[in-house]
Amino acid sequence: MSEIIDGKLIAQNLRADLKEEIKILKEKYNKVPGLAVVQIGNVAASSVYVKAKTKSAQEVGIEVIDHHLENTTSQEELINLINKLNNQENVNGILVQLPLPNHMNEQIILDTIHPDKDADGFHPLNVGKLSISSSNDENLLIPCTPYGCLLMLKGLNIDLKGKNAVVIGRSNIVGKPMAQLLLKESCTVTIAHSKTKNLPQLCSSADILVAAIGKPEIVKGEWIKDTAIVIDVGINRIEIKNNGESKTKLVGDVKFSEAKLKASAITPVPGGVGPMTIACLLRNTTIAFKNSLI
């Protein structure tokens, strides 16, 4: 039976460390990190995420500057706001909640955020720094979800060097930076995706399997090598029948009930990667604040 990796607990410990660090920084500099949160429109899922991020930030002592814009806001208006925040001294991190309305170009918006205030770690300059750095530099602004995955792996107290790691998914948000982080830990990394041939066979060779493809329960238990570590990034809502009624349920990209019988350790959905993503957003904001003091 697998060890269930408790993302809630690990994130809680990270937040506690950040809270103590921010308290010390406040005593020394008489100011705290500031996070500007920009949401456009009223997408229900986005509102839930923004509320959770705001609450967690405030609990550790980060000042949240909230900007909730109408769905009809133009791209130019959003860019003007971001430029204003780029020059605002009490703002150390800027988070633009995705997805954006269809009339906006996501990459242009993300590129507008100053790299020193890039709380999500998505700016091309920060992506480049991650790519060329020789190690996982503690001062880099790294995409939150993959960094959270790495922290969970390190929390298992195993030697990652030489492990075969398979990352399913090639997105700029998770798949690619996850591969970079594992490579810096001296893993042998393979990136798989929807066009990969013989995916089950490839997965069965993995000592570390990171599933981030966005397809509910695509990874079956038989795909997983005995003693492998499974990190399930997927968050999918599926419809199930319960006593004749249709209900929805959150599941990952991995068939958890099967995988837990083979893996040595596995993250649940929910309660695994999700809490770590928010905690690492707070980490990035705190790092950006500290960098601004130098």
Q: Is 118 a catalytic site residue?
A: no
Whether 151 and 280 have beta carbons less than 8 Å apart is answered as yes
Are the C-beta atoms of 283 and 22 separated by less than 8 Å?
no
Distance, in Å, from the CA atom of 191 to the CA atom of 147, rounded to the nearest integer, reads: 17
Sign of the CA dihedral 234, 236, 238, 242?
Answer: positive
Identify the active-site residue in 53, 176, 184, 262: 53
DSSP letter string over 132-199? H-SS--TTS---HHHHHHHHHHHTT----TT-EEEEE---TTTHHHHHHHHHHTT-EEEEE-TT-TTH
Sign of the dihedral defined by the CA atoms of residues 245, 248, 253, 254, in that order: negative
- Active-site annotation holds for 249: no
Tokens 């109408």, residue?
70
12 catalytic residue (yes or no): no
Tell me the C-alpha distance between 277 and 279, whole Å: 6
Q: Which residues contact 95 (CB under 8 A, 6 or more apart)?
A: 35, 36, 37, 38, 53, 119, 120, 281
Q: Looking at 97, 232, 255, 260, which residue is catalytic?
A: 97
Which of the following is catalytic: 39, 117, 120, 232?
Answer: 120
Find out whether 251 and 217 touch, Cβ atoms under 8 Å.
yes
DSSP state at residue 225:
P
User: Rounded distance, CA 152 to CA 175, Å?
Assistant: 16
In this structure, the strands spanning 188-192 and 245-251 are: unpaired
Q: Quick check: 162 and 186 in contact, CB under 8 A?
A: yes
Six-digit token string for 240: 């199930």
Hey, which residues are catalytic here?
Answer: 53, 97, 120
